[in-house]
Structures are given as structure tokens and as C-alpha cells.
Amino acid sequence: MKKILITRKLIKSSEENALRLFDVKLNQEDKLLSKDQLIKESNNCDGILSSLTEKFDSEVISKLSTTVKIISNFAVGFGNIDIDAAKKRNIAVTNTPDVLTDATAEIAILILLGAARRAKEGIKWANKKNWKWSADFLMGKQLTEARLGILGMGRIGRAIADRARSFGMKIHYHNRSRLDKNLEKNAVYHQSLKSLLSVSDFFSINCPANKDTRHIINKETIKHFPDGAVISNSARGDMIDDDAMVEALKSGKIYSLGLDVYNGEPDIHPEYLTLPNVFVLPHLGSATKKTRTAMADLAVKNIDEFFRTGTCKNRVN
């Protein structure tokens, strides 16, 4: 029976599923493991079921036990793992695509609405219990007939587009390549990011995290947005240059910002918490029981498939 380290606590049924298949080492206290602890706890293990909270950089991977043959990431993303370093050690890396698409798309719409309709300010006023109605009280931006720019038209980007269409939004997108017409569904393709930004009354970040997309929204690219644009990020925090964004929010160039992810989680740029036009959630994209269970079960299945067949359809390296 293969020996597996599961780095963070999973839904109980998923842990039980893993225990039926493997000799499992669980993190019962659900503590974040340091680099040294990751190396120590995975010693003599055949595989690791990891979370985004663990950073498998080149240093960690170089020191893993030679018995480790797979890192199965409990996420659709895998920016926490040095893919090249894993490949050099002949360690397979897998992810959990598809199963979290709908839940993440729902959160993307939530933060877009929260930012546009001034939810943070509204909650504050409701808690004060002394607000008074007036014709111009907390007027926000309406999604209907507005242009939504989507950066990254993969599974999640397309699911967001489908939901945004129900609000009457006009979909524009930029992708590494243009989609087939049946997937595009009359969305307008922009070959350049600058072109997309220039028409984005609303903007949703949904592209993969890599060295090319880090700080893709920065002081220079912000200039291309229409004045008063609403931006949301449900992908990865390092897509946005925080200092540049704070400046744009203060000046009014950017009307408001919705975040489910941000740099340095759980730490956050302090001004995001004080600015009234920033609506923030603590990385809830996949946080439904149905989705988290499906993700964990798929992460377990990836390991089982790899050891049974020598490969895995969700391998990313």
C-alpha cells in the first residue's frame, strides 16, 4: 500500500476515501507546515496531496525523499509548485480542474456585484442602524448592458461569461488564442490586452498565474481602462500591483475593486481594508461542501490513477 502525506485537513469523507486506498499520514491539527516540516513529514512517502498553502519551491523539491513520485495539488492552480524542479526530479504534478468551475464563477460574480453596488459601504451603514434613504444614497454601477472584459477565457472565464450574460452584459475577452465560435458565444475577441482594457467597463481576471501574468494589472495597464471601471480578481493575488491599484482607486480612475484573492494571503495591503470602494472576501472561490469534496476526491483519484497506470489525465508536467 502506497504511503501518502495529506498536508491539510480535508472533508471527512474524502479523508476516509484516501484511507481506504493508501497508508495515509494526516495533518490532524490542520497546521500550516513549514518547508522543513514538509520535507520531514513526507520522508519515505510515495506521494503528497498538497494545498495552495504549501510552497513547493525548488529548494523543497530538491530535498524531498527520493520515494516521492507525485504531488497532487488540491486546486485547479499550481503556482505553489515549481513545475520545472518537479520535472527534473521526475515527480508528477496534478491538479483538480473542472470540479470547481461553477463555484468559482459564482464568487467572481459576487465580488463584481459587491464592488459595483457598494456592498462594503452598505453593510457598514446597515450595521450603524442610522441610515436614511435618499434618491442618491449609495448609488453604484449597474451591470445591465455594460461591457465585461474577461482576461482568460478558460473554463472559469467562460462560466463567468455565461452568468454575466444573464445580467445583460456584453462580453469581451483576451486569451492566448481565440476560442472556437461555439465556445465564444458571440463574445468579442481582443488580440491585445490593451484593446480589451480600453472597452472594459467591468473587468474580471481569470488567467493562469505565471511569470508573464504577475502584476499584469499595473500602473501602465491601468491607464487603458475607461475612467470609472470596476475590476474583480478571483484568480490569483499577484495579478495586481497593489500600490498602483490603491492609487487608481483613490484617484477615481478605478471606481471599485472586488477581491477574492490577493497578494500575501492572508495578509493584505492595509489600504484595501480602509478604502470604501474595495470589497474583499477571504479566498472563498471553491468554498462549498459539494465543490471542496469533489476537489479532494479528485486529488485522491489522481494519486490512485498515477500509481495504477503510471500516468494521470490531470498531470500538468
Active site residues: 236, 265, 283
Which is nearest to 300 in space by CA: 155, 159, 107, 99? 99
CA distances from 67 to 2, 48, 204 (A): 10, 11, 41
DSSP letter at 275?
-
Q: What stretches of the chain adopt beta strand conformation (E)?
A: 3-6, 23-25, 47-50, 70-73, 92-94, 147-151, 170-174, 188-189, 202-205, 229-233, 254-259, 278-280
Decide if 201 contacts 229 (C-beta within 8 A). Answer: yes
CA distances from 283 to 49, 121, 130, 133, 228 (A): 20, 20, 31, 33, 25
Which is nearest to 137 in space by CA: 151, 118, 154, 156? 118
Cα 293 to Cα 199: distance, rounded to the nearest angstrom? 38
Cα 207 to Cα 142: distance, rounded to the nearest angstrom? 25
Cα 112 to Cα 258: distance, rounded to the nearest angstrom? 6
Q: Backbone dihedral region of 10: left (phi > 0), alpha (psi from -120 to 50 degrees) or beta?
A: beta
C-alpha grid cell for residue 168?
445583460
Dihedral of CA 64/54/10/17: which sign?
A: negative
C-alpha grid cell for residue 237?
493575488
C-alpha grid cell for residue 204?
474580471
